[in-house]
Each structure stands twice: as structure tokens, then as C-alpha cells.
Amino acid sequence: MLDAAWRWLDEHLWGRRAHGHGVLAGALHAARYPYAMLRDLARGSINLHAMSLVFNTLLALIPLLAFSFAILKMFGAHRDLEPLVYEFFRPVGASAQELTRKVMEFTNKVSGSIVGSVGLVLLLWTLLGTLEKVESSFNYLWHVEEPRSLARRISEYLAIAVLGPMLLVLALAMGRTFGLTLAPYVLVTAIFTALYAVVPNTRVRLVPAMIGGLFAGALWAWIGSWFADWFVYSAGLTVVYAGFAFFVAGLLWVYVGWLILLLGARLTFYVQNPSYLRLGLVELQLSAAQTEDLALRIMYLVTLAYTSGATRWRTDALATELRVPGIAISHTTALLEAAGLLTTDERECWLPGRDPGHISLVAVMKAARSPLREVGDAQAALRIPAVDRLREELQLASDNVCGSRTLRGWVDAGAPRQIATPESLAGDGHPVDQQ
């Protein structure tokens, strides 16, 4: 029944009425965002990532605070760490003070004995491991397959661990100095925006990051006030868990906090890549024929824009024009880029990897048929002569059709046809030069 409801919404949000420029079409386009986020949440993968991050938070909370305490102590600002911890636990109500007190007591003990000893290595290892898990969750939501290199992880994660506490304390102090009652909420929104812009191992534009940060900050404030009221009036929780009720409430709030953070990251991704709204987090499987067809279309459009001096294509604009999910474009361009047939400029627009006059159509076809990762040992596969002969005949037929034609000659021969360019998409209300 639930699947039928999702299909019904999908058909209406992307149906005939969604095309055009009217008020109804605009409303349907806007409704795609909450629909896509609720659908992704219902599928459960975001929940699993939030749960795993709760576990990592338990492991890293004390080391993180101890490291922050040691850093701030150098500047005489270590006492300002306690208000930050309290702001984090404030939605659990009266138990926030008890949680803050216990965490700070343990942090003081750990920071006094661990910094400057061998334990510092374990502390840093725990911090880097937790930040890696956060990056992994963000990369999953952004469909990014390649994580940061080890050198980048160490340098960038340590920069976050050192500068983060100092900036937080400075922002909170400024809010108190100027009497800003909304300072905690502004601070949370700013933190979320910074995380959305920095953590994913890809280029994230500022505007989508700010939209995601505003959404997550507002959701944090609303759910935080609701969570505090629920905990105060939840007698059942106190009865069942007795003295551990405050600890259970803290765990629940940490889980809710990670869930909010991940939902904001997903919204940031959708704002920057609206072509993914319909597909969501489902893994896309392209057949060999579909990959070859898409590779040829991409190479044709990219080369045509390059040779005619038109605006260059970006991934999202290609997805809009070819009417396929952005992940399909990303998968195919990765194959072509690995073969040296495509490259990007400084604005992440696609260009031919070399002179199109020296790129054969046979090379394009072979690139589309080559997986990025080999599955198993191809040499050890069972040899069947009849299958091998058929594959050779099919390859020979394909090579004969392509002949000695180059990408440049093929594009020039088809150029008189009316082919869309990124500029023409603006007139249709589609995004231009996104991704």
C-alpha cells in the first residue's frame, strides 16, 4: 500500500501537469523536494547512517571534548566549552545540566592525563575515524564514490578539530556580547552550512549549502523544543529507565540530531542536483546497450559545444537534456574520463579529453564497454569457443560500422540538425550549468 502511494505521488509530481510555467507546475516542482526526502527517509538507509553515527559519537565525544579543552586552554578559553556542551544537550530538558556536568567532569580528567602522552595518538585516531565516518555518510548522500586521500584526511580533519572549537566559542561569545537571543540557532545553522559545504568530497556551491543549513537549523530548533516538552511530560520513560532516563534521552537526541544533519545534507544535494529527485538513493543499473547509447550522446553534445564555441555542458544540464538521472551521466562520464576521452575545465564543465579529430568512434565504444572495476579474473573465466567467436563477430561488426570515422567528423556530419545547447535549456525553465 505504501509503495502504491509513492508511485501515485511520483506519477503526479513528474506527470503532464508538472510541465510548463504555471502556478500548478511550480507548486509540483517545489513539492518534489519534500517528497524525495520523505521517500529517502522511508527507505531506511538514512536512518541506518544516523544510528551508526550515534555509536561513533559515543566513542568520539569525550576525545573530541578533551582535545578541544586542551586547545582552548592554550588561549584561556577552556571554560567556554561547557556552554557549548549544554547547548547541544539543551533539548533534553532538565537532564541537560546533569549530562553536561558529567561530560565536563570526565573531559577534565581525560584532558589532564591524555594530552602529551601516548594516549594522544589514540585520541587523534578516534577523532579521525569518527570524522571519516561522517564524510562517508555525506559522500553516500552525494553519490560520491571516492573518499579523501589519507593525506587530505589528516590535514583537513585536524584543521577542523583545531579551528572548530575556537570558532564556536568565538561565535557564542559574540552572541552573548551583543545580546542576541537567537545566537544558538544562528550558530547551529552556520555549523550545518559549513559542514554541508566542506565535508562531502566534491564541489558544493554555497547557495545549496545555505539552503540545507537553514532547513536543518530550523528543524533542529523546532524538534528541539518539541523534544524538551516530550521528555518533561514523558513519565513512562522515567519509570522504565529510572536513573538512566537522562542518559537514554541524550542518546535519543544524538540520534535525532544526526538524522536532522543528514536530511539537511540530502536537501543540499537535491538543490544542487535536481535531476536526482526522482531516482533518490536507489542504485542505478544501466545495461551495456544503454551505456553505449548514453556515451555516444554525451560525446556528441560535448564535442558539438566545443567545436561550435557554445556554452559547455555540465553534468546536471546533460541529465536535463538527455532526460536521464544525473547518476547515469556521472557513471558514463566516469568511464569516458578514465579512457581519456573526456576532461573538465576549472568550472567543472565537460570537454573532449583530446582533439576530437584524433578520437575514433571505436575508442568511444570500447570505453563504454569497459567497467571501471574488473569483476573477478577475466583470464580465469571458462573458455567457450562458440561464445568467443560470437563476441569477436559482434566486435568486428561494430568496428566495421564505425570504420575509421573520428568523433570530429561524426559530429560535423550531424551538426546541421537542431541540437539543444545549455543556453537553450534556460528558455524551457530547466537548470543551466548546474552540478
Mean pLDDT of the residues in the chain? 77
Among residues 234, 250, 276, the one where a domain terminates is 276
Tell whether 242 and 343 lie within a shared domain.
no
DSSP tag of 373: S
Q: According to the model, what pLDDT value does residue 60 have?
A: 72
The confidence score (pLDDT) of residue 435 equals 38
Euclidean distance between CA atoms 166 and 162, whole angstroms: 7
Q: How confident is the model at residue 119 (pLDDT cuts 50, 70, 90)?
A: low
pLDDT surpasses 70 at 120:
no
Amino acid 43: pLDDT: 84
Q: What is d(CA 266, CA 79) in angstroms, rounded to the nearest whole number?
A: 35
Point out which residues pair with 342 in neighbouring strands: 352
How far, in whole angstroms, is CA 254 from its chain's centroid? 20
Are 262 and 135 in contact, with CB atoms under 8 Å apart? no
Q: Is the pLDDT of residue 213 over 90?
A: yes
For residues 205 and 340, membership in a common domain is answered with no
pLDDT digits (tens, 9 = 90+) for 348-360: 789 999 999 989 8
- Grid cell in block for residue 433: 550549468
Number of domains in the chain: 3
Residue 191 confidence class, pLDDT cut points 50, 70, 90 = confident
272 inside domain: yes
Same-domain pairing of 256 and 191:
yes
Note the pLDDT of residue 424.
56
Pick the residue with more confidence: 115 or 339?
Answer: 339
Q: Are 230 and 319 part of one and the same domain?
A: no
* Domain ranges, residue 11: 2-40
Largest CA distance in the chain: 81
Which pLDDT score is estimated for 59?
74
Do 35 and 54 have their domain in common?
Answer: no
- Residue 339 CB contacts under 8 Å (≥ 6 apart), including other chains: 353, 363, 366, 367, 370
Range 375-381 average pLDDT: 51
- Per-residue pLDDT of 134-143, as tens digits, reads 889 998 898 8
Specify the higher pLDDT residue, 161 or 196.
196
Q: Is the dihedral of CA 310, 316, 318, 322 positive or negative?
A: negative
Check whether residue 196 and residue 180 sit in a common domain: yes
Ranges assigned E (strand) in 193-237 = none
Percent share of the chain, pLDDT over 90: 15
For residue 273, what pLDDT is reported?
84
Judged against a pLDDT cut of 70, whether residue 160 lies above it is answered with yes
Mean pLDDT of 78-95: 67
First-to-final CA distance of the chain = 35
pLDDT-derived band at 4 (thresholds 50, 70, 90) equals confident
Residue 378 lies in a domain: no
Q: Is the domain of 213 the same as that of 89?
A: yes
118 and 214 both lie in a single domain: yes
pLDDT at position 294 is 92
The pTM assigned to this predicted structure is: 0.68
Higher pLDDT, 249 or 416: 249
Percentage of the chain surpassing pLDDT 70?
70
Do 398 and 414 share a domain, yes or no?
A: yes
Question: What is the DSSP-derived secondary structure letter of residue 344?
Answer: E
Strand partners, 315: none
Q: What is the pLDDT of residues 285-318, one digit of tens each?
A: 788 888 889 999 999 999 999 988 888 898 878 8
Which cell is 305 given? Answer: 559545444
Under the banding of pLDDT at 50, 70 and 90, the label for residue 429 is: very low
- Does 244 have pLDDT greater than 80? no
Asked if 104 and 72 count as a contact pair (C-beta separation under 8 A), the reply is no
- Residue 176's pLDDT band (cuts 50, 70, 90): low
Is residue 431, in this structure, part of any structural domain at all?
no
pLDDT at 242 (0 to 100): 56
- Phi-psi domain of 44 (left: phi exceeds 0; alpha: psi -120 through 50; beta: other): left
> Picking from 10-14, 265-269, 293-297, 306-310, which range would have the lowest pLDDT averaged per residue?
10-14
